[in-house]
């Protein structure tokens, strides 16, 4: 087993909804109540003033039917030319949850900058009926030790 010294603190963020995920035109500010967005809800976690590493993402679906691919993306604080896709989870929906975690020993190679946002993009195949709850674990980095 490899020992990894993590220079930061892990924070857990949640969001929920009944529509699509990933809209960049609406947003959930950290700490605001879930379910306050329109049906084009956003599962994204902004960190305006901290660097972070995405450690895991879990999404559970209830009710409704159908599946769609989910993209795990970075919306870069440096602009659209630096946006990137981290991973695609195929065919998720009710009965097919997401349980993604960052593999490997070089977590610092996945460090994201100040102003970057972790974004889940998924089109709900049964919008308004299928409900989802997303949880993301982010390692918030101490910039003095990054």
- What string of pLDDT tens digits covers the 146 residues of the chain? 333 444 566 777 777 777 777 644 334 443 344 444 333 345 656 556 778 888 888 999 999 999 999 988 888 888 889 888 888 999 999 999 999 988 766 677 788 888 888 888 888 899 888 888 888 888 887 666 55
Domain, as residue range, for 124: 8-29+39-91+120-146
As for how many domains the chain has, the answer is: 1
> Residue for token digits 């379910």?
35
State whether residue 80 is helix, strand or coil: helix
Q: To 10 degrees, the CA torsion angle through 57, 61, 115, 28? A: -150
Q: Does residue 15 form part of some domain?
A: yes
pLDDT value of residue 122: 87
- Predicted local confidence at residue 107, as pLDDT: 73
14 located within any domain: yes
pLDDT of 68 reads 93
| pLDDT in the model for residue 27 | 41
Report if residue 115 sits inside a domain: no
What pLDDT does 47 receive?
A: 55
Residue 113 belongs to a domain: no
In the numeric block, the tokens 């909804």 are attached to 17
* Alpha-carbon span 142 to 4, nearest angstrom: 16
Q: Indicate whether 96 belongs to any domain.
A: no
How high is the pLDDT of residue 97?
A: 95
In the chain, count H helices and then E strands. 0, 8
Rounded to whole angstroms, the Cα distance separating 28 from 73 reads 16
> Residue for token digits 């593999």?
103
Give the pLDDT of residue 144: 64
């Amino acid at each position: 087993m490899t020992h990894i010294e993590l220079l930061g603190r892990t924070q857990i963020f949640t969001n929920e909804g009944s529509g699509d995920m990933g809209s960049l035109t609406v947003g959930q500010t950290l700490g605001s109540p879930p379910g306050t967005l329109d049906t084009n809800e956003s599962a994204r976690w902004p960190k305006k003033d901290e660097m972070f590493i995405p450690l895991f993402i879990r999404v559970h679906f209830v009710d409704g039917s159908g599946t769609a691919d989910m993209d795990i993306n970075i919306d870069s604080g440096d602009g659209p030319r630096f946006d990137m896709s981290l991973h695609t989870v195929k065919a998720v929906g009710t009965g097919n949850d997401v349980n993604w975690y960052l593999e490997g020993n070089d977590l610092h190679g996945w460090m994201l900058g100040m102003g970057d946002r972790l974004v889940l993009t998924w089109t709900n195949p049964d919008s308004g009926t299928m409900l989802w709850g997303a949880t993301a674990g982010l390692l918030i980095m101490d910039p003095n030790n990054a």
